[in-house]
């Protein structure tokens, strides 16, 4: 299908690299918007763990080991109300310029409506995720960044997507959700990233 899309981008024997990339990438995205997490799903039942976004520690005081930085579903969701937004990859265009900024702008409003934690989730290593957050001036006390290193949680919830056309490999779909004591109360497959934070805030 990607090959077909690439061929269709060629006009009169000339093709721009931009149209090749955009055509293939958007076709892949459209094909893969296929499933969401059902309302009422209890995410605490999952045995998956996420990794705290963090710098690479160069001293003996802090650990770089996965086991020391793991966040279980129970720890994240038990007896708490959490807003989660999932992005395909750190340092990419839409994630940086459209999806994250409105959450930063509305972070205090989420807390005022009873949200205990706002989480930016992605399939990536925790070091890239941390440095992306840092580059955007994120306050980690207001928005947490958690990484699904091998995409296990995304696969378990059928949110894994193939972004090979954009040289990203397998990542997560773009989504958002409200989770109350582990139970999904609202879930969105996000197609308009810049409007997602406002939409999710209205679902709290």
Residues noted as catalytic: 95
CB 94 within 8 A of CB 193: yes
Max CA separation in the chain (angstroms): 62
- Alpha-carbon torsion (55, 58, 61, 67), positive or negative: positive
Whose tokens are 């773009």? That residue is 174
Asked whether the beta carbons of 51 and 71 are under 8 A apart, the reply is: yes
Query: At 152, phi and psi to the nearest 5?
Result: -60, -45
Nearest-CA neighbor of 75 among 103, 43, 107, 53? 43
SS3 letters across 70-95: EEEHHHHHCCCEEEEEECCCCCCHHH
List phi, psi (to 5°) of 81.
-110, 120
Question: What token pair was written down for 104?
Answer: 């930063």
């Amino acid at each position: 299908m990607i090959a077909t899309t690439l061929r269709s981008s060629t006009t009169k024997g000339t093709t721009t690299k931009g149209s090749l990339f955009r055509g293939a990438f958007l076709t892949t995205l459209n094909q893969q918007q296929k499933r969401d997490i059902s309302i009422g799903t209890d995410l605490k039942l999952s045995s998956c763990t996420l990794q705290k976004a963090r710098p690479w520690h160069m001293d003996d005081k802090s650990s770089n080991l996965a086991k020391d930085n793991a966040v279980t579903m129970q720890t994240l969701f038990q007896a708490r109300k959490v807003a989660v937004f999932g992005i395909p990859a750190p340092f990419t265009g839409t994630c940086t310029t459209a999806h994250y900024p409105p959450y930063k702008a509305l972070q205090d409003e989420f807390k005022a409506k009873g949200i205990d934690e706002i989480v930016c989730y992605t399939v990536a290593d925790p070091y890239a995720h941390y440095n992306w957050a840092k580059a955007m001036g994120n306050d980690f006390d207001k928005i947490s960044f958690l990484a699904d290193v091998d995409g296990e949680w995304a696969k378990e919830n059928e949110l894994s997507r193939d972004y090979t056309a954009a040289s990203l490999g397998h990542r997560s779909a773009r989504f958002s959700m409200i989770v109350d004591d582990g139970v999904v109360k609202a879930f969105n497959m996000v197609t308009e990233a810049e409007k997602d934070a406002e939409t999710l805030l209205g679902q709290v």
